[in-house]
A and B are shown apart, each in its own frame.
Chain A
Amino acid sequence: MSETGIGATVLRREDRRFISGRGNYVDDVNRPGQVYAHFVRSPHAHADVKSIDTTAAAAADGVVAVLTGADVAADGLGGLPVGWGITSQDGSPMIEPPWPIIAQDRVRYVGEAVAVVIAATRNQAKDAAELVAVDYNPLPAIISTQDSIKDGVPQVWDDAKHNICFDWGFGDADATNDAFAKASHVTTVDLVNQRLIPNAIEPRSSVADFDSSTGEMTLWCTSQGPHAVRLLLGAFVLQQPEHKFRVVSPDVGGGFGSKIYPYAEYATCCWAARRLGVPVKWTAERSESFLTDAHGRDHITKAELALDGDGRFLGLRVSTIANMGAYLSAFAPLIPTYLYATLFAGQYTTPAIFAEVKAVFTNTTPVDAYRGAGRPEATFMLERLIDAAAKEVGVDPVDIRRRNFIAPEAFPYQTPVALLYDSGNYGAALDKALELSDYAGFEARRKASEAAGKLRGIGISTPIEATGAAPSAIAGQLGARAGLYESAEIRFNATGNVTVFSGSHSHGQGHATSFAQVVSDKLGVPYENIEIVEGDTGRVQMGMGTFGSRSLSVGGSAIVKASEKIIEKGKKIAAHLLEASVDDIEFSGGNFAVKGTDKSVNIAEVAFTAYVPHNYPHFTGDPEADKNALEPGLDEQAFFDPLNFNFPYGAYVCEVEVDPDTGVTEVARFTAIDDVGNVINPMIVHGQIQGGVVQGIGQALLENGVYDQGSGQLLSGSYMDYTMPRADNVPNIDSDLTITPCPMNPLGVKGCGEMGTIGSPPAVINAIIDALSGYGVRHLDMPATPQRVWSAIREARPAA
């Protein structure tokens, strides 16, 4: 292994600009003559907009324009599109309501834009927004996920009866019912997977600049995939032709899913820039981010597990209500369906599974993918259910998992919920987790805690997920309205250095480093001579972007394919230079050599020859002689459409210490073993896992998107109320890996970005319930705040 190739811990090259204050985030982008947008947002969760008087605002200092939903309609702009369609069990399509970029006639959640003020400065726009007079007729609102389908509650959309967007079924209902009929034990849990608010620390932002002389629009925006923004906003909303629309996502300060979507504010900036002839900039304030960034999770679930007398799983039946919010965000229908129920087999051999998911509309902010997206919900359900079952049938939580693991020799393994697992050794990961966490020594630590008046508990989860979306044909059959490949271009420059263009997007993942390691390894070019370019539709050929832990397995594989094309062409050029047959040329370590000789030429020299083709196999016009002829240049593009998803898995052990007097829970130790296949840069992989685990601990202990049930006001709408994990809330995370290469892509890699948020919440909750088991506590909802833990103890404790 070279010091900069695949598998090496290479310090990140992108760090220099970030630690020096020279990053280039969207709010750092300024265009000459730019003006600023500020949105007027609904204070009501549900209301008719009777009238909007913009007169005073339009006359205020510095104001350029005040635009409303009526202007959007008059200009014929389209609504925000949905990228995935789901069909209900009765065969009917999902309800897909219109979503204009500024509300027209009715608002359906607090924070929905009703007007935008454009002014010379941020403060002028904000001041004038106060002068926009909106006359609302407030309507009753439905907020609760649980209550949304009840009779007589307010309806968000007339054509969505009982607020149901779709009622989806998946799996084999008959086989599952049969399994329950012959079970010797059935365990049932009722779970809430609470609403989360993603909260990348960089607020969303956009700057749009329209050149009326060429008809070209340039949009800088905080996006995880600028090509998708270009396609969706251009074609569906703005009617801005794709070839005259450049979208740039420069440095982006975290995404976690929330920056995938083509947001209304980005479209509004473009539309206003085109209409007004000046660049328009908008940056969210954090309060706006809380109200308008797509939220995550928000499920209510009943899950039942059928077991035989030996603790083996016979069947799983799950019924979930998933909150979509007031409108359907771009990938919202996908999250509680094919990214959720397809994971219900977990690491286990459960033969019969059936899931029903009702997606519902409520008067809340739209919900979409947030780090893990469906898989954390699936994993929390399954790993909690298994622990509850273990307790009920009197089997150790480790043993019950081992009894039901898919055996290493059973791969490829077809689950009853569509996925074909390609590889795995689940017992090995669990062994390693138990060893690294000193599981055997827990009892002594428990006693030590007890002596100090604390309750100590240990919890396990053995998560699996599906990453690397997606085989486009399969995705299309399941409702995807887009392809899900990734593209790469490798361009040798004449002087031998290399520019790589990738359709992935890095917003913390370190692509500039790890992708360069891949190219250096594959092409034998010095690492420092390779540059990675992402995030600009004006420079990068095509792309789907970064989400679902897909960048390395899909985007990286496209890079490998492009490098293979480079080698193939390079062999022909080398054969000409070395006066040998192409079949006799071997490529290794950056050199093309004639087999069995010491004749060789370096790839940099081949590149130079390709661009200065004096001695070159040129076309002559003679078809026979031209069989080996080549075009100049060494620049190859590849698209990679994966054969299958890939299936990272792991084993997580959490140890908590609970103060029974206060309910305060401290994560004392956390061990995460992950198998993400081959590893390009271990430092980056561990960083992803540690960060993900802490986000998952945040869900388990701290974070909760809470609305007032009557008014629909977001109560957890700031960092004072929405408690993100801080440094003193969490411990160091002990992370380690087992390596089972994925057979489905040329790098043998799987995704690593979401494992932590998927695997950690059930481990934490299982640990707390273990700690409280002496009181007979069997259930706790997330987040397990001190109040909830204390109440659980009080309610379970026998009266004194």
Chain B
Amino acid sequence: MTSTVSLTVNGKAVSAEVEPRTLLVQLLREILGLTGTHVGCDTSQCGACVVHVNGTSLKSCTMLAVQAEGADVTTIEGLADGDTLHPMQQAFHENHGLQCGFCTPGMIMSAIDLAKRNPDPSEKEIREWLEGNLCRCTGYHNIVKSIKAGAQAMNA
């Protein structure tokens, strides 16, 4: 049994046939082919799948696709304006905020939500905000630096 879900993804109206159990991340990755959003665990712990739903960061493995009916979803692919990177993407690049890149989309999506709520977060605030995002490569040092710089650039 499938049903149709219609939503906006990265500014484009889309609709798809999904099973009741299909997760939003599966809709994005497997049906819409937006493979920038990653799956790193099966317990909603790692944060590699964070996207924005109606402007708020959300783990797309914690939401059923049918729950996204009518929603406005932004993924990592929808951030840049043509060739111009979003300031948070640029900050991750300039501060070596990524190594293998697998956790990076979720980190960036999560960081943007923080910067919208808190234009000048402290190191402590950034570290606490990131408790839902795991990185195994960087030790977080440069991620924290990236987010600080990115938040400042976003709010400059």
Give me the interface of A with B, judged by CB distance under 8 Å.
11-12, 14-23, 25, 27-28, 122-123, 199-203, 251-254, 256, 285-287, 507-510, 683-684, 687-688, 690-695, 718-720, 724-728, 730, 732-733, 756
Binary contact readout B1-41 vs A (1 if CB under 8 angstroms, 0 otherwise) = 00000000000000000010100000001100011111111
Closest B residue to A691 by beta carbon equals B139
Q: Is the CB of A201 within 8 A of B96?
A: no
Q: Is the CB of B135 within 8 A of A201?
A: yes
- Beyond A201-B46, A203-B40, A695-B136, is A18–B104 a contact (Cβ under 8 Å)? yes
Instruction: Find the residue from A19, A23, A510, A732 having the highest chain B CB count within 10 A.
Output: A19
A-B contact pairs, 27 of them (CB 8 A): A17-B101, A19-B89, A20-B89, A21-B36, A21-B77, A23-B35, A23-B36, A25-B35, A28-B35, A122-B30, A202-B102, A203-B40, A253-B40, A253-B101, A507-B100, A510-B99, A687-B137, A687-B138, A692-B139, A719-B41, A726-B130, A727-B130, A727-B133, A727-B135, A728-B131, A730-B140, A733-B141
Q: Is the CB of B104 within 8 A of A202?
A: no
Q: Is the CB of A254 within 8 A of B137?
A: yes
Instruction: Find the residue from A23, A199, A256 having the highest chain B CB count within 10 A.
Output: A23
Q: Is the CB of A20 within 8 A of B93?
A: no
Other than the given A200-B100, A202-B40, 16 more pairs (CB < 8 A) read A12-B93, A15-B92, A18-B105, A19-B76, A27-B35, A201-B134, A201-B135, A202-B38, A253-B38, A286-B43, A508-B137, A687-B142, A694-B140, A727-B127, A727-B130, A728-B128
Q: Is the CB of A732 within 8 A of B123?
A: yes
Provide the residues of chain A in CB contact with B149, threshold 8 Å. none
List residues 105-151 of chain B with CB under 8 A from any CB of chain A: 105, 108, 123-124, 126-128, 130-131, 133-144
Give me the interface of B with A, judged by CB distance under 8 Å.
19, 21, 29-30, 34-43, 45-46, 48, 75-77, 79-80, 85, 89, 92-94, 96, 98-105, 108, 123-124, 126-128, 130-131, 133-144
Query: Nearest Cβ distance between residue A24 and chain B, in whole angstroms?
Result: 8
Q: Is the CB of A254 within 8 A of B102?
A: yes
Q: For the complex, what is the distance from the CA of A253 to the CA of B134, rounded to whole Å?
A: 13
Provide the residues of chain A in CB contact with B36, threshold 8 Å. 20-23
4 A-B pairs closest in CB distance: A21-B36, A253-B102, A18-B101, A694-B139
Q: Is the CB of A508 within 8 A of B101?
A: yes
Query: Nearest Cβ distance between residue B41 and chain A, in whole angstroms?
Result: 4
Q: Is the CB of A202 within 8 A of B100?
A: yes
Query: Nearest Cβ distance between residue B52 and chain A, in whole angstroms?
Result: 13
Provide the residues of chain B in CB contact with A724, threshold 8 Å. 134, 136
Q: For the complex, what is the distance from the CA of A11 to the CA of B39, rounded to whole Å?
A: 27
Closest A residue to B89 by beta carbon equals A19
- Beyond A19-B104, A692-B139, is A12–B96 a contact (Cβ under 8 Å)? yes
Q: For the complex, what is the distance from the CA of A251 to the CA of B36, rounded to whole Å?
A: 12
Q: For the complex, what is the distance from the CA of A472 to the CA of B140, rounded to whole Å?
A: 37
Q: Is the CB of A25 within 8 A of B80?
A: no
Provide the residues of chain B in CB contact with A256, threshold 8 Å. 136
Q: For the complex, what is the distance from the CA of A17 to the CA of B46, rounded to whole Å?
A: 21
Closest B residue to A23 by beta carbon equals B101
- Beyond A21-B77, A287-B42, A508-B101, is A727–B140 a contact (Cβ under 8 Å)? yes
Q: For the complex, what is the distance from the CA of A199 to the CA of B136, rounded to whole Å?
A: 7
Provide the residues of chain B in CB contact with A12, threshold 8 Å. 93, 96
Q: For the complex, what is the distance from the CA of A200 to the CA of B138, rounded to whole Å?
A: 12
Provide the residues of chain A in CB contact with B141, threshold 8 Å. 687, 690-691, 694, 732-733
Q: For the complex, what is the distance from the CA of A291 to the CA of B62, rounded to whole Å?
A: 23
Q: Is the CB of A727 within 8 A of B35?
A: no
Q: For the complex, what is the distance from the CA of A673 to the CA of B141, rounded to whole Å?
A: 16
Q: Is the CB of A18 within 8 A of B98?
A: yes
Query: Nearest Cβ distance between residue B142 and chain A, in whole angstroms?
Result: 6
Closest A residue to B147 by beta carbon equals A727
Q: Is the CB of B41 within 8 A of A728?
A: no
Q: Is the CB of B89 within 8 A of A203?
A: no
Interface residue from A508, A688, A719 paired with B134 (Cβ < 8 Å): A719
Q: Is the CB of B43 within 8 A of A11?
A: no
Q: For the complex, what is the distance from the CA of A20 to the CA of B29, rounded to whole Å?
A: 15
Instruction: Find the residue from A16, A123, A726 having the highest chain B CB count within 10 A.
Output: A726
Provide the residues of chain A in CB contact with B75, threshold 8 Å. 21
Provide the residues of chain B in CB contact with A123, threshold 8 Å. 19, 21
Closest B residue to A696 by beta carbon equals B139
Q: Is the CB of A690 within 8 A of B45?
A: no
Q: Is the CB of B96 within 8 A of A684?
A: yes
Q: For the complex, what is the distance from the CA of A254 to the CA of B98, rounded to whole Å?
A: 11
Interface residue from A19, A252, A684, A732 paired with B100 (Cβ < 8 Å): A252
Q: For the complex, what is the distance from the CA of A575 to the CA of B104, rounded to whole Å?
A: 50
Interface residue from A28, A507, A720, A726 paired with B43 (Cβ < 8 Å): A720
Q: Is the CB of B139 within 8 A of A251?
A: no
Q: For the complex, what is the distance from the CA of A68 to the CA of B54, rounded to whole Å?
A: 47
Q: For the complex, what is the distance from the CA of A261 to the CA of B52, rounded to whole Å?
A: 37
Q: Is the CB of A11 within 8 A of B138?
A: no
Q: For the complex, what is the distance from the CA of A673 to the CA of B61, rounded to whole Å?
A: 40
Q: For the complex, what is the distance from the CA of A658 to the CA of B132, rounded to whole Å?
A: 25
Q: Is the CB of A19 within 8 A of B92?
A: yes
- Beyond A20-B76, A21-B77, A286-B42, is A690–B139 a contact (Cβ under 8 Å)? yes
Q: For the complex, what is the distance from the CA of A18 to the CA of B98, rounded to whole Å?
A: 8
Provide the residues of chain B in CB contact with A733, threshold 8 Å. 139, 141
Instruction: Find the residue from B30, B103, B137 having the highest chain A CB count within 10 A.
Output: B137
Query: Nearest Cβ distance between residue A426 and chain B, in whole angstroms?
Result: 24
Q: For the complex, what is the distance from the CA of A800 to the CA of B83, rounded to whole Å?
A: 69
- Beyond A690-B142, A692-B139, is A19–B102 a contact (Cβ under 8 Å)? no
Q: For the complex, what is the distance from the CA of A122 to the CA of B75, rounded to whole Å?
A: 23
Provide the residues of chain B in CB contact with A730, threshold 8 Å. 139-140
Q: Is the CB of A718 within 8 A of B41?
A: yes
Q: For the complex, what is the distance from the CA of A683 to the CA of B55, rounded to whole Å?
A: 33
Q: For the complex, what is the distance from the CA of A305 to the CA of B139, rounded to whole Å?
A: 34
Q: Is the CB of A719 within 8 A of B136?
A: no
Closest A residue to B88 by beta carbon equals A19
Instruction: Find the residue from A15, A252, A684, A733 having the highest chain B CB count within 10 A.
Output: A15
Q: Is the CB of B137 within 8 A of A691?
A: yes
Query: Nearest Cβ distance between residue A654 and chain B, in whole angstroms?
Result: 14
Closest A residue to B140 by beta carbon equals A727
Q: For the complex, what is the distance from the CA of A728 to the CA of B132, rounded to whole Å?
A: 10
Provide the residues of chain A in CB contact with B76, threshold 8 Å. 19-21
Closest B residue to A287 by beta carbon equals B42
Provide the residues of chain A in CB contact with B79, threshold 8 Å. 20
Q: Is the CB of B98 within 8 A of A203?
A: no
Provide the residues of chain B in CB contact with A683, threshold 8 Å. 96
Closest A residue to B141 by beta carbon equals A690
Q: For the complex, what is the distance from the CA of A25 to the CA of B130, rounded to whole Å?
A: 24
Provide the residues of chain B in CB contact with A693, threshold 8 Å. 139
- Beyond A20-B80, A203-B39, A727-B144, is A15–B139 a contact (Cβ under 8 Å)? no
Instruction: Find the residue from B46, B96, B131 having the highest chain A CB count within 10 A.
Output: B96
Q: Is the CB of B101 within 8 A of A20?
A: no
Q: Is the CB of A726 within 8 A of B139?
A: no
Q: Is the CB of A726 within 8 A of B102?
A: no
Provide the residues of chain A in CB contact with B104, threshold 8 Å. 18-19
Q: Is the CB of B46 within 8 A of A719?
A: yes
Closest B residue to A252 by beta carbon equals B100
Q: For the complex, what is the distance from the CA of A508 to the CA of B99, rounded to whole Å?
A: 4
Q: For the complex, what is the distance from the CA of A694 to the CA of B94, rounded to whole Å?
A: 21
Q: For the complex, what is the distance from the CA of A756 to the CA of B39, rounded to whole Å?
A: 27
Interface residue from B19, B35, B48 paired with A201 (Cβ < 8 Å): B48
Query: Nearest Cβ distance between residue A140 and chain B, in whole angstroms?
Result: 31
Q: Is the CB of B139 within 8 A of A19?
A: no
Closest A residue to B133 by beta carbon equals A727
Query: Nearest Cβ distance between residue B105 and chain A, in whole angstroms?
Result: 5
